[in-house]
Structure 1
Amino acid sequence: MNKVRLIFLVCIALFTYQGTFGQEVERWYTVSMGGSPVGYLLEKNEANGEQHTSLIEMNISIGRLGSTVKMETRTFQTEKEGLLIGINSEMYISNEKKVESVQVMDDHLLIESQGFNKRLPMDSKLTGPKQLEELLRKQIENGRKTVHYTTYSAELGMFMNGSLNFTGTEKVSIKGMEFNAIMVEESIQELPYVRKKWLSKEGMLLKSSEPGPFGDMEVVWTNKENALRALNNSVDLPEDQYGSSMAYANYRLSNPRDLSSIKLKITQKRPEFGFPDFSGDYQDILSKSDKEIILQINKPEITLQNNEPSELEEYLEPNAFLDNSDELLIEKTKEVIGDETDDWEKAKLIADWVRKNMSFDAGIALADSREVIRDLKGTCVSYGILTSTMSKAAGIPSRFLMGYVYVDGAWGGHAWSEVNINGHWIPIDAAVPNDTYIADAARFFMVRSSLKDGMGKANIAGMQLVGNIDVNIIEHEVDGELHTATENPYFIENDIYTNPGLKFAMKKLEGFEFTDVDLFYPENTILKQTKGASEITVGHWTYGSAEEAMASTNRILGQAENSNTLRPVHSGSYEGFSKSSTNETLAVIRDDTKSFFILTSTGPEHSELLAKATEAIK
């Protein structure tokens, strides 16, 4: 489970930037997120007779937890007489280049992506970037306040209906020069947020700012040297900046992978962003306002009773992301399922194979199934894409899900799959599994898709939610027992730390202080006690199966260097083993078959200190 904790870093609005073009042939910009430099943006313009070609190139590098996600996009837009006539997009968001071409016809678009072709109806003319520049310049000269336009985003796979509203002027200093900048707010009907722009009087972009998952993304005009330096000198995102993309739980779940139901209150911190459509099958909206939603998630069951037939062809047909016509993938799927004929048993075999053969790699933002089956690495997105595609290759209708999952005291972005069994959609997760194979209820989806139209809906849902919501647990059910959540994950009273969700309490040792209480993903620490050079750390680990938990226990106990033999540990209802090494004493005590606490003591007389710590557990 450790390998699936770095999830959903970048599946959102990094590829939706639409520049404003001036007369220069080439312009460079720095890109930053939350004040941290992450890369550059380049604009180039070239005229060839009646045609005008504009290039927007964005190159971004985001580091966190020892991994680096690199993304490079190049979009060429060609226009004639002010109207867009073609788009060519190149995206480097994994180890392979993704290419898409768009031809603009009279009433439709012809789109080719990764060998797949589709026709998209069009009911209005598309504005080219050079024409948009001219419209802006005329509006500025005439003192008018709004410009409307329609274009197409190859990165999102959808039409964009935008408006630029002039809101005033502001003095800004860019490249050592002072500008009386024209302030513009750009609204795109299909996107949840407003982008702010500062323009010169000629309509040239000086800088822009828009909300992002790691703080505001800012684009600022500069020179080539500074722009390239911003990419080359990009650093790991600070912990608080990275953490801002997650939602921290009000209540710790002791065995989240065993949950059969959960009731959540999801609060939107930016009500103007709205909510995606959460409803469907086993996920119900109990109440909804602009600011919050009460959501009930019930883990479904496999039933032999067939549901009413529905249109499932879309979830069996190959597409650019889920290509079940790939010969290698078909061959591997046949090998995995063998002679099995039952759809649910086939799905379980596929999920097992994906879990055992994939390697987690946070450096891959998004890869299609053809790349994943060959490289067998990626984030949870790759796990979900491969599970869905192999299921389709096995004749099982399947779709791809993105949403949130509970891990280690936090709700983080995640991706998994659904398979259609006897007419019922059943969630299945190869990245965060459990021993029933049906994905637990400690999660909620924000989008479910065949991906035939690309990742646009998932990206927009991510823009709405990531970094913008609080998720509070109201109640949850495990093994038929309903539990009501507390308002806070822990409380300290009479020098005793109590964690109601984990049913854990510990008394403060004499002379010690409680520190680092209730840390969250990617940490497992729920409590520290410190006194000078002496320290006691308590962490909580949970797994989807007893086998995984036992394997992790053995691995942790085996890592202690220069350690003596295992000694039994007893503390109230807890039992486990401890090991001492030169610098520390470590104990693993079982919470139940799928979860355990780890106590680590360091400093002088650490072995005796651990014994006192186990006695302090209530």
Structure 2
Amino acid sequence: MKPKTIKQKKGPGGNLGLARLGIILWLVILAWSPGLFARSVQGEANKEETRWYSIRLGEETVGYVKETGSRLQQAGRWYWKSVTESKIVLRRLGQKVEMRVSYEHLETDEGLLKKITAEQLLAGSRVRTEIEVEEDRAKIKNLTGNQVFSREIPSSGRLLGPVGIGKLTNDKLKRPGDKVEYRTILAELAQVISGERTLVGEEVVDCGRNKMTARKVIDRISQIETTRQVWLDMEGNEVKAVEPSPFGDIVTCLSSEQEVMEAMAASRGQEQFFQSSLIRSNVRLPQARGLDRLVVRLKHSQPELGWPDLANEYQKILENSGEVKVVELKRVPLRSSPDGQLSAEEKKPYLEANTYIDINDPEIKRIASEVAGREKNVFQKALKLRDWVSRNLAFDAGFVFAPASEVMKAKKATCAGYAALLAALLRAAGIPSRYLMGIVYANGIWGGHAWVEAWLEGRWVPLDAALPSPGAADPARIAIARSSLAEGPGGSLVAAQKFFGSVSVEVLEFSLKGRTVKINQNQPLYEVKDNRYWNPGLQLGLRAPDGFTFAELDGVWPDRTLLALKGPDGQVVRLFQEGWFPSENLEKYLLERLKKEVNGGRQIQLRVWGKKRPALVSAEKSALAILNGTDLFLLVASGKNSEKLLAGVAAALENRLIAD
């Protein structure tokens, strides 16, 4: 029998916070935060009213939330059904990044949660989560492609849905200072969470349509350690909300479909939101992928958020004073005495398939067998799988997060996808693996990143396919969360929420090939004096040819430019810094890289820093590749007599950290 539906009179203001929480938590992967909110529970009517909300970052509208609600009668009992659809569109590295999250909550007429259905579309396919709440447990089912993964969590006590939380809010928050506590299930974390709401008072809110008097409420969720400000109308519907994110405050305001769509169409999609989440380094690190050790000072601008657990086998806390931590980071040797052993039960979650590490995919099994099946040495087996991922995937900023099987099919991903696929291949080859989230150094910045750890002969060894090193992953990174991903990435994102956008990084010293360099606190990133450029971090210098001036000296990732020289007749010379790549044929790789700069040039060799280096030259453009340890420098000269100009600048290029 088809359920009877009676449409709700007042607009559904209830699970707007849930929808935004899903979006913000996923924003952490690109670089987070939440709540649910009150739904009006007025009587039945014949007309359904849909509410639209704009999502703004700064002055720009970047997304929307659409909410509808209805009452259903099933087997003689009434239920509330809330449906929320949300979307955010940003730009990152010139590409559109689109994230969609939808929710459906079903709860009793009294507001007790019965079922949640959530879907995330962050790449090419949807990931669906279904949660059914029973008296003492919640049954969780994750569906992706044709695979289903099921588990249970305990859920004793009263768990409320959006309507239930709204009713509780309206019933209990009467005077400023009144508080109320609630418990519910958050789909992204797939766990029971506790919240507390406090009524601040009444304020006039202006969302651009009209002004109205609203009640301001502070909502705190303990498991996520976040606080959001919310304004409710007199019927309990959400009007406005402000909450933090790595890119600044996210503001949600009551709007209309037309206003939201017009604002999004006019959005410029600026990249500053992502740039604001990057941490400028106080030093340009030489051969970052080849470093042996670093010591960094971390300073938390919001220590009340707490710190994620940073201490592990290769991250040692040297100083800890609340808002400041000094951490020593070391490279893990591939061959060394084991730290310990894991039992079969302890290894189990790191060998099993789950929603995102779906190792039962036939193609993942095939590649794992072909690449590493005959290799006996477990270290080499892991490195071969890492190298395969590095060589066969392309970076795509719009491919936010997806199961490993989808990454395998698309052959593109962000670092999150590189890590998911490598973790899956390792497990398919019988090697326990876990997913890491943290920050990494790259070309002058520290930014959010994902990589993996593999259990290799008695210790966890970090491996990175997106920013590879010749062996284990380098120590120019800080791990802040580890997970099997059996429960999804939500737990890691919550840990990241305590870190991203709130912590600064200062390099105090680094070690490279037995040499330790201490960083002077007042040391500049670079200096130009008497027409000579000097970079104290890279220990690299260059004197400009007569008539040339330095330019473009402040580029950081994703800009590869270290410096540029502008000549009197329009000539331009640029020096790019890139990283090491696990190429099967180094000479061929360098030549192909040069061909991307020079079309149809003549191949020659130039002696730089004591070695012959490959170059492609032509009348108007010439390029030179200089591999120094794990740094690849590309020197590109454009304009008349480019070959002669290239040779002259290359001869003047100096480096005091020349690798063997």
TM-score, normalization by structure 1: 0.90
- Is 1:132 equivalent to 2:145 in the alignment? no
Alignment deviations for residues 570-593 of structure 1 (CA, whole Å, 9 cap, x no partner): 6776865665656x5444262625
| Aligned residue type for 1:537 | R
**Cα pair 1:16 1:155 within 8 Å, conserved:** no
* CA distance 1:330–1:603, change in 2 (3 Å): closer
- Is 1:93 equivalent to 2:118 in the alignment? no
Out of 27, 39, 50, the position equivalent to 1:26 is 50
Counterparts in 2 of 1:528-539, with a 5 A limit?
Answer: 528-530=564-566, 533=570, 535-539=572-576
Counterparts in 2 of 1:459-478, with a 5 A limit?
Answer: 459-478=493-512
User: Could you say which residue in structure 2 is the equivalent of 1:52?
Assistant: 80
* CA distance 1:225–1:496, change in 2 (3 Å): same
| Aligned residue type for 1:100 | T
Alignment deviations for residues 360-379 of structure 1 (CA, whole Å, 9 cap, x no partner): 32222111133233333322
Please give the alpha-carbon distance, in whole angstroms, between the structure 1 residues aligned to 2:101 and 2:198: 27
| Aligned residue type for 2:559 | E
- Is 1:113 equivalent to 2:139 in the alignment? no
- Is 1:557 equivalent to 2:588 in the alignment? no
Please give the alpha-carbon distance, in whole angstroms, between the structure 2 residues aligned to 1:374 and 1:495: 51
Please give the alpha-carbon distance, in whole angstroms, between the structure 2 residues aligned to 1:413 and 1:370: 23
Alignment deviations for residues 190-229 of structure 1 (CA, whole Å, 9 cap, x no partner): 2243212222233221211111122221111100112234
Please give the alpha-carbon distance, in whole angstroms, between the structure 1 residues aligned to 2:174 and 2:31: 32
Q: 5+ residue gaps in structure 2?
A: 1-25, 43-47, 655-660
User: Could you say which residue in structure 2 is the equivalent of 1:315?
Assistant: 350
**Cα pair 1:569 1:589 within 8 Å, conserved:** no
| Aligned residue type for 1:205 | E
Please give the alpha-carbon distance, in whole angstroms, between the structure 2 residues aligned to 1:128 and 1:595: 54
Q: What's the CA shift for 1:607?
A: 6.5
Out of 448, 456, 463, the position equivalent to 1:413 is 448
User: Could you say which residue in structure 1 is the equivalent of 2:626?
Assistant: 590
* CA distance 1:355–1:176, change in 2 (3 Å): closer
| Aligned residue type for 2:53 | Y
Q: What's the CA shift for 1:122?
A: 2.1
Please give the alpha-carbon distance, in whole angstroms, between the structure 2 residues aligned to 1:356 and 1:505: 32
User: Could you say which residue in structure 2 is the equivalent of 1:388?
Assistant: 423
**Cα pair 1:15 1:73 within 8 Å, conserved:** no
- Is 1:64 equivalent to 2:99 in the alignment? no
Out of 83, 98, 101, the position equivalent to 2:112 is 83
- Is 1:41 equivalent to 2:65 in the alignment? yes
* CA distance 1:591–1:388, change in 2 (3 Å): closer
Alignment deviations for residues 416-456 of structure 1 (CA, whole Å, 9 cap, x no partner): 111112221111122222222x1111112111111112111
**Cα pair 1:140 1:201 within 8 Å, conserved:** no
Q: Give secondary structure in 2 for the equivalent of 1:202.
A: coil
Q: What's the CA shift for 1:36?
A: 2.6
- Is 1:157 equivalent to 2:179 in the alignment? no
| Aligned residue type for 2:557 | Y
Q: 5+ residue gaps in structure 1?
A: 1-7
Q: What's the CA shift for 1:88?
A: 1.0
- Is 1:360 equivalent to 2:392 in the alignment? no
User: Could you say which residue in structure 1 is the equivalent of 2:657?
Assistant: none
Counterparts in 2 of 1:3-402, with a 5 A limit?
Answer: 10-11=28-29, 16=34, 18-22=36-40, 25-49=49-73, 50-80=78-108, 81-114=110-143, 115-142=148-175, 145-238=178-271, 240-303=272-335, 305-310=337-342, 311-402=346-437
Q: What's the CA shift for 1:509?
A: 5.6
Counterparts in 2 of 1:447-458, with a 5 A limit?
Answer: 447-458=481-492
Please give the alpha-carbon distance, in whole angstroms, between the structure 2 residues aligned to 1:335 and 1:568: 37
- Is 1:446 equivalent to 2:480 in the alignment? yes
* CA distance 1:375–1:494, change in 2 (3 Å): closer
Q: What's the CA shift for 1:332?
A: 3.4
**Cα pair 2:373 2:429 within 8 Å, conserved:** no
Q: What's the CA shift for 1:527?
A: 2.3
User: Could you say which residue in structure 1 is the equivalent of 2:519?
Assistant: 485
* CA distance 1:193–1:15, change in 2 (3 Å): closer
**Cα pair 1:321 1:454 within 8 Å, conserved:** yes
TM-score, normalization by structure 2: 0.84
User: Could you say which residue in structure 2 is the equivalent of 1:519?
Assistant: 555
User: Could you say which residue in structure 1 is the equivalent of 2:12?
Assistant: none
**Cα pair 1:61 1:234 within 8 Å, conserved:** no
Q: Give secondary structure in 1 for the equivalent of 2:407.
A: helix
Q: What's the CA shift for 1:156?
A: 2.4
Taking only aligned residues, the RMSD between alpha carbons, in angstroms, comes to: 2.9
* CA distance 1:36–1:586, change in 2 (3 Å): farther
Identical positions, percent: 29
Q: How many residues are paired up? A: 608
Q: What's the CA shift for 1:499?
A: 0.4
* CA distance 1:460–1:440, change in 2 (3 Å): same
* CA distance 1:453–1:579, change in 2 (3 Å): closer
Alignment deviations for residues 79-115 of structure 1 (CA, whole Å, 9 cap, x no partner): 1112111111111122111111111112221111121
Please give the alpha-carbon distance, in whole angstroms, between the structure 2 residues aligned to 1:407 and 1:551: 25
Please give the alpha-carbon distance, in whole angstroms, between the structure 2 residues aligned to 1:125 and 1:525: 57
Q: Which moved more, 1:173-182 or 1:271-280?
A: 173-182
Q: Which moved more, 1:31-40 or 1:511-520?
A: 511-520
Q: What's the CA shift for 1:462?
A: 2.3
Please give the alpha-carbon distance, in whole angstroms, between the structure 2 residues aligned to 1:55 and 1:506: 61
Q: What's the CA shift for 1:458?
A: 1.3
**Cα pair 1:100 1:112 within 8 Å, conserved:** yes
Alignment deviations for residues 392-413 of structure 1 (CA, whole Å, 9 cap, x no partner): 2222111111112211111121
* CA distance 1:607–1:554, change in 2 (3 Å): closer
Alignment deviations for residues 282-314 of structure 1 (CA, whole Å, 9 cap, x no partner): 222222233222111211123475553322222
**Cα pair 1:69 1:363 within 8 Å, conserved:** yes
Please give the alpha-carbon distance, in whole angstroms, between the structure 2 residues aligned to 1:486 and 1:596: 26
Q: Which has the higher contact order (CA 8 A, sep 6+)?
A: 1
| Aligned residue type for 1:55 | V
Q: What's the CA shift for 1:512?
A: 5.4
